[in-house]
Amino acid sequence: MTKNPLGEILFKVAIVSDTHVNEKEDFSASPYPANAEANPRARHVFSQVNQIAPELTIHLGDMVNPVPELESYGPAADNFHAIAADLKAPIHLVPGNHDIGDKPVKWMPAGMVNSDFIALYRKHFGKDYYAVVSNGCHFVIVNAPLMNSGDPAEAEQAAWLEGYLAKHQGERIFVFSHYPPYISDPDEPGSYDNIEEPARSWFLDLIRTYKPEALFSAHVHNFWYDEIGETAYYITPSTCFVRHDYSEMYRIDGGDQKGRNDAAKLGFLTLEIRENGHVAKYHRSYGATLAPKGGAARPVAPRPHVKTGGLSHAFVDMRHAWAEELVVAPSGAVDEFRRKRARNDYPLMAMWEMGLKGLRVPIQDLADPRIRRRMEIMVGLGHLFQVYLYGMPDEAERALLVRHGGLLDRLELVLNWEEADELAKDILALKAEADLRIILSRVNRKDGAKHTGARFNHLISHGFTLAESDELDAFMRQHPDLIDGAQFTIARSVSSWSTARSLSGFAAQTGCAPVLYAKSTEASPAEEFNDPVENAKRFAETTLAGIGFGIDVVLDTMDDADRGYFTRTGLVDRRFNPRLAGELISAIALETVEGGWTAASGDSPVLEKAGQRLWVGEACEASDGDWICPRSGLRAAPGDTPQTELILRIGSGAG
């Protein structure tokens, strides 16, 4: 196995955000029941933090729910310290608006940061801006509510921060701020959720100038990722509740408590500090709780990440928008006087935790400047893009491919087969001009068939079949060096495993790299495929086939198609929370990251390596009634031969 360029893990940091601890157990002044779960949810997450044994823990603010002007602030702070006392590693706190007062917001009735609130914060929580040095790394804590306040402490913090970053320029620095400078766009208007001008530009200029390794923010209780110059920029979810105005990002109802209790989006991060970089892994807590002296939390599920390996042979068809910007309506709560635009980054988060590197996307994604920038960021992280289009690119598309061909792992050209010979010269010229790997596919039309009047077919199919492999071989012999690969498509009822075995033989015979597109559906657009267990098996078989036979596979599809034609469940649901299939793919990625697994003989999808075997076993009830199945679903199977059995674990929550 090739050593990862990030090197070995030096140490870990746990990052927790927005616990909103209350002044009483199982109580909150908020009208939402999720808020009353804050204390036991924080207790559970801190117990999980102990499992990962970090060098230190950083809390990104809003430790408590009551704001400084309330009498309940002190008791809530005491409760927070009592819960955090169970942490085995030291915890360092970032002031949030609930802890030290809101940023200057004229339309907001809540109390704004001031000298009295700062003094109260320091009494209960300590310093509000400072730096911690551990193992040669600098962890810089800033008081974001203070920005734009005009309080004398604002200038003091600014001078300190500028001086500290300048003094340690070139060293490994990580910055932590409760308020994010922006959500999706550095030029977005000010809102309750971001740092407003002029402090935003000042802060961003510091980041671009001194190039800290990463900036972590919170406050918005959802996940986003961006890059500010050379700095990785994370906005992290909460342990307690979701900011449910952002449920506008999903084409489905908000869910429990209108989305506030979308528990799959709750959790914390592990920041792995590595020799040559970092990896931030998200751990979903699913809103689990722990009573005082209530024992241990559920095990933390280990996760793969594309930056440290992942599934190099697996692509996923991104049928739905994966970097979409949506409008969040004025709600009358935290924002009322303008709409907010926000990009949905949960598809990216899901890709990371499944270890999925490859995305199959249409050329229109490459043409959209905003989405193309997301592609640039993702390629830098290790993702791969298979861009497809029907027919040959027009003049504008050709220029686009020439300029941005470096973002593509391969270009999939879907052609009418009867036109392939006459287009060969143009394909070769495009390949040379744009320096592209070309994958050829075909539209399977039957133009010569006569319409009988009984049924008219509007259904599109694309990709070669195994029966057409000889015809494809003859075409490649006639046009050598024209294409690098060909895409084969199979329906749901066709075995991915046996097809991949045949395609590996085709590759050995022709030198052409096959791509296997495994559909989740059959011929009828009205037939539904919504069984999460059977769909998980289909995804797993295809992924194992790609690993075992060393061919690229395309999984169909990323998120549920629950309306329109050909409905089926995906790796994640319409809220982009993991389905059983996604958890299973994550487990496979984690177990196979070191490589060396090959296909075992026989018709069953089984991998083998050094006397061990890996396969999808029989479904069984999880003992805790939970349906997630990461590494905890892997166990040594009895028998004379050492084996590893990957079990589908299904319980009451599956689906």
Residues 478 and 552 in one domain: yes
This prediction has a pTM of 0.93
Residues 263 and 399 in one domain: no
Please say which residue of 554, 576, 598 terminates a domain: 576
C-alpha–C-alpha distance, residues 62 and 266, integer Å: 15
Does residue 225 fall inside a structural domain?
Answer: yes
Mean pLDDT of the chain: 90
Low-confidence ranges of the chain (pLDDT < 50): 447-451, 619-655
Residues 417 and 282 in one domain: no
C-alpha–C-alpha distance, residues 399 and 373, integer Å: 17
C-alpha–C-alpha distance, residues 75 and 269, integer Å: 27
Q: What is the pLDDT of residue 150?
A: 95
C-alpha–C-alpha distance, residues 536 and 539, integer Å: 5
- Domain region containing 546: 346-445+459-576
Burial of 302 (0-12, 13-18, 19+ CB in 10 A): middle
Does residue 594 fall inside a structural domain?
Answer: no
Residues 262 and 406 in one domain: no
Does residue 600 fall inside a structural domain?
Answer: no
C-alpha–C-alpha distance, residues 655 and 650, integer Å: 9
List the CATH number of the domain containing 136: 3.60.21.10
Please say which residue of 237, 266, 286 terminates a domain: 286
Residues 399 and 282 in one domain: no
- What dihedral angle (degrees, nearest 10) is formed by the CA atoms of 326, 329, 330, 331? -120
- State the DSSP string of 160-187: HHHHHHHHTTTSEEEEEESS-S-SS-TT
- State the DSSP string of 47-58: HHHHHH--SEEE
C-alpha–C-alpha distance, residues 404 and 19, integer Å: 43
C-alpha–C-alpha distance, residues 226 and 358, integer Å: 19
The pair of structure tokens assigned to 616 is: 């999808």
Residues 52 and 152 in one domain: yes
Q: What is the pLDDT of residue 650?
A: 32
Alpha helices in 438-524 (DSSP H): 469-478, 496-510
Residues 373 and 280 in one domain: no
Q: Tell me if residue 262 falls in helix, strand or coil.
A: coil
Q: What is the pLDDT of residue 453?
A: 55
Q: Tell me if residue 352 falls in helix, strand or coil.
A: helix
Q: Tell me if residue 35 falls in helix, strand or coil.
A: helix
C-alpha–C-alpha distance, residues 182 and 157, integer Å: 20
Please say which residue of 269, 286, 303 terminates a domain: 286
C-alpha–C-alpha distance, residues 356 and 382, integer Å: 10
Does residue 151 fall inside a structural domain?
Answer: yes
C-alpha–C-alpha distance, residues 520 and 539, integer Å: 8
Sign of the Cα torsion 363, 365, 370, 371 reads negative
Whether omega for the bond prior to residue 198 falls within 30 degrees of 0, making it cis, is yes
Instruction: Supply angle C-alpha 331, 334, 335, rounded to 5.
Output: 60
Q: What is the pLDDT of residue 452?
A: 54
Does residue 385 fall inside a structural domain?
Answer: yes
Asked if 587 and 347 touch (Cβ cutoff 8 Å), the reply is no
Residues 106 and 239 in one domain: yes
- For 462-508, write each residue's pLDDT tens digit: 999 999 999 999 999 999 999 999 999 999 999 999 999 999 999 99
Does residue 623 fall inside a structural domain?
Answer: no
Sign of the Cα torsion 498, 500, 505, 510 reads positive
Q: Tell me if residue 234 falls in helix, strand or coil.
A: strand
Helix axes 420-434, 395-404, angle to 10 degrees: 40
C-alpha–C-alpha distance, residues 463 and 475, integer Å: 15
Neighbour count for residue 424 (Cβ, 10 Å): 15
List the CATH number of the domain containing 416: 3.20.20.80
Residues 383 and 268 in one domain: no
Q: What is the pLDDT of residue 446?
A: 62
For β-strands 311-317 and 91-93, DSSP reports them as unpaired
C-alpha–C-alpha distance, residues 311 and 597, integer Å: 12
What is the count of structural domains for the chain? 2
Does residue 206 fall inside a structural domain?
Answer: yes
C-alpha–C-alpha distance, residues 147 and 198, integer Å: 9
- The CB-side HSE value for 8 (13 A sphere, CA atoms) comes to 1
- The CB-side HSE value for 545 (13 A sphere, CA atoms) comes to 30
Does residue 279 fall inside a structural domain?
Answer: yes
